[in-house]
Amino acid sequence: MKNIKKYILSIGIMILFISSMFSIILLNKHNHKISCLNNARSFLLWYKANFLEISKAQNKIIDLNSKEYYIPKYSKIDSYVFLLQSSNYFSDIFIDKFKRYLVSNADTLLKSKQNDGPPEGFDYDFFFGQEYDYYLQLIPDKIEIKILKNDKEVKKILVAGYIEYTFDESCKIKDIGRNGESFY
């Protein structure tokens, strides 16, 4: 009889332990979702507050005043990427991928010897596309931020029904895209 009581007591303790661990896991997942949502909001506020500086840094990448054709300034790519990296909103994976994207666009522009019109590959805001002014007006009060329904954990957050931000485990931006396709 004593052995049965001990056995039942130990099973009860195990059930309590397992259920409390399950609750902690659910709470951690909930906290992670809240963290990523807050990080997305914070990023958008940072981006809006720093838009002029970010835009100037992006525009310095291409020399539009060259007499022959547009010349990419590769050192300005480093400055632009450093500005983004110093915000602490982007993962190292994103920074590396984005820098390769910028260098590839600069190489293509250099080979094409373009000398008029918007510089191919640098003719839009890298985070909001052509409609950047529209989206900046929506931040913070009118822009919708939500976790995509098919994600059990926060991997992607949809901003303004248009842009998907993919996050790493620490809620830093790992990719940006639309309809499952990466911009970079």
What's the pLDDT tens digit per position in 118-130? 888 888 888 887 8
Q: 141: which DSSP letter?
A: T
pLDDT tens digits for 140-162? Answer: 777 676 676 555 555 666 676 67
Q: What is the pLDDT of residue 16?
A: 55
For residue 22, pLDDT beyond 70: no
Helices (H), 50-168: 51-59, 74-86, 92-112, 132-138
Q: What's 94's DSSP letter? A: H
DSSP, res 169: T
pLDDT tens digits for 77-102?
A: 999 999 999 999 999 999 999 999 99
